[in-house]
Every structure is written in structure tokens, then in C-alpha cells.
Amino acid sequence: MRTTRGRKRSRFARAAVAGLSAALLVSGCSGGGDTRTAAASPSPTRPAWNTHPDSIASLGDSITRGFDACSVLEDCPEVSWATGTEVDSLARRLLPSPQTSSWNYARTGARMADLPDQMRQAVAQRPQLVTVLLGANDACRRDVADMTPVASFRADFERSLGELRRSLPRTQVYVAGVPDLMRLWSEGRKSLIGKQVWRLGSVCPSMLGDADATDEAAVARRAQVDRRVGEYNTVLREVCARDALCRFDSTVHGYGFTGLELSKWDWFHPSPRGQVELAGLAYRTITSAEPPKA
């Protein structure tokens, strides 16, 4: 004769078997078949990259404003690599109507700390693509001690992308690498006019100051600026890589600007020809079916 405790254990066992059988029927499980349960869900897919967005907002500094490309000490957005209407810019290559579907919020002298505000302006236009070329002014300071700390640079860039994503989760981002300032010094110091302009101290003094000096202090100073630019580019690449709709373009830093592609007034900013070269780099990265390799 079974005890009350034994009968309870028997009823519990039968209920457990029945529950398990029902679960197997619901999940479609059978011997040798798919053992996944109904609760399992597929991993989210990576959003598709649109190789031909139909609107662009461009953010950045004097490079994107076309500074010193048309006349001395003046912006010339008409020849901007991003939104220019008088050169073969990115906007002209991509958009049927660049004049009405592209916006240039870059500002001469801007640093990464200015990007969040520029991003808010861009968000108001709801563009399909935002371009960012920024960071040279963070390294181009009166003294190397004044260069933007890497942590601050990262925080401002992350905050800017966060600003975009909160409002426009599907907008794509093209991020250009900070240009090679050491390369610009090496190329520009070949020009007597360029060096005379640099002596005024208004163009990237941390790198271009005392352009002909080769003493230990000068070499160390330039090397420090070069390292900081590399650190900035690492930040841009890492932060961009965490966003499925962001592409970082390292070819901008690697591009070998020549005298023909630099401003004849300061031998530092891109000339109209240099602006077109930047547009070409961006166009190839944006219209590629696959993202650039890290």
C-alpha cells in the first residue's frame, strides 16, 4: 500500500512527463531533429549600407570650408570636397540636386569639442549621410601641451554620434581620418612662400613652427604631434567600428598631398585640386559595396 507521500511523488512525476511531452510538441522537437526551442530568435542582421544616399550634411573644420582654396584667409565652400558646387565634390557625384539636398556646417578653426553642436544642426535636416572630417585643429596648437587630450577627443566624438543616433538611427556616417600633418610639413617646407606664411604662426604652429629646424627639440615636437594624430585616428576608427552605419576612411591620412594639391597661399590647406582628391577618396568609400578594411 503506497503512502500519501508516495502518491504525491507519482502524481508529480506524471505531470512532469506530460509537461515535457507538450513542450516537445510545441517546439517541434523529435529524435535527431532541430533541438531549438520556440523562444530562440535569430541574431539581428547588420543594416544595409546605402551606396547612394540622397542628402548630405557635412561637418568639420577649415578643410571642409575650403579655406585658402580660392583666396587668402577666406573660406570658399564652393570648392569644398564635401558640398562644393564648383568642383567635382562628393555632393555633385552623389546627389541629383546638391544645392537643395546638401548642407555644410563645418567651421574654420573647429575642434572635436565643436562637433556635438554641428551634429545637432545636421540632425535638424534629417540627412541620409553625415560626413565628418575633424581633428587637425586639435593637434595644431600653439604648443604641444595645448593639444586636445585623447580622452576628451574620444568623449566628444562619442557624444556626437550619440546625438545623431538618438534622433536618426538610420543615417549613415562617413568619417575621414585626420590628415598626415607630418606629410604636410615635409611637402610644404619646400616652398619659400609657404615657410614665410608659416612664420606668422597662424597655421599649425605645433607642427609647422621653425619649419627648417632639425635640432632634437624640433624633431621631438613634430614626432609628438604626429603620435597624437595617430591616437586621434585610432579613436575615430574604434568608435566608428561600434556603429553599424559608420565608415572610417584611413586613406585620407595616408594620401600623399603634393604642392599642386595644396593652397598656394599657405601650403597646408587643400587647393581646389586637393579638394577634388578628397572627394574622390570619400566617394570610393561611400559607394563601395563593402566597408573599408580596418
DSSP 203-237: S-HHHHTTTT--SHHHHHHHHHHHHHHHHHHHHHH
Checking if the pLDDT of 290 tops 70, the result is yes
Summarize pLDDT for 34-89 with one digit per residue, the tens: 333 333 333 356 789 999 999 999 999 999 999 999 999 999 999 999 999 999 99
User: What's the whole-model pTM score?
Assistant: 0.83
Mean pLDDT of 212-223: 96
pLDDT at position 294: 64
Checking if the pLDDT of 24 tops 50, the result is no
Instruction: Write out the three cell numbers for 74.
Output: 577666406
Going by pLDDT thresholds of 50, 70 and 90, the confidence category of residue 193 is: confident
- Domains located in the chain, CATH noted: 56-287 (3.40.50.1110)
pLDDT at position 45: 67
Higher pLDDT, 11 or 242: 242
Going by pLDDT thresholds of 50, 70 and 90, the confidence category of residue 135 is: very high
Give SS3 for 242.
coil
pLDDT at position 151: 98
Mean pLDDT of 143-164: 98
pLDDT at position 131: 98
pLDDT at position 98: 92
Mean pLDDT of 223-232: 98
| Amino acid (1-letter code) at residue 61 | D
Checking if the pLDDT of 8 tops 90, the result is no
What single string gives the DSSP state of each residue in 104-124? E---TT--GGGHHHHHHHHHH
DSSP conformational letter for 270: B
Higher pLDDT, 60 or 23: 60
Checking if the pLDDT of 9 tops 60, the result is no
Give SS3 for 173.
strand
Going by pLDDT thresholds of 50, 70 and 90, the confidence category of residue 269 is: very high
Going by pLDDT thresholds of 50, 70 and 90, the confidence category of residue 195 is: confident
pLDDT at position 194: 84
pLDDT at position 20: 34
Lowest mean pLDDT among 72-81, 139-148, 197-206, 211-220: 197-206
Q: Please list, residue by residue across 202-237, b when 16 or more beta carbons sit within 10 angstroms of its beta carbon and e when fewer do.
A: ebbbbbbbebeeeeeeeeebbebbbebbbbbbebbb
Going by pLDDT thresholds of 50, 70 and 90, the confidence category of residue 196 is: confident
pLDDT at position 44: 55
Checking if the pLDDT of 273 tops 80, the result is yes
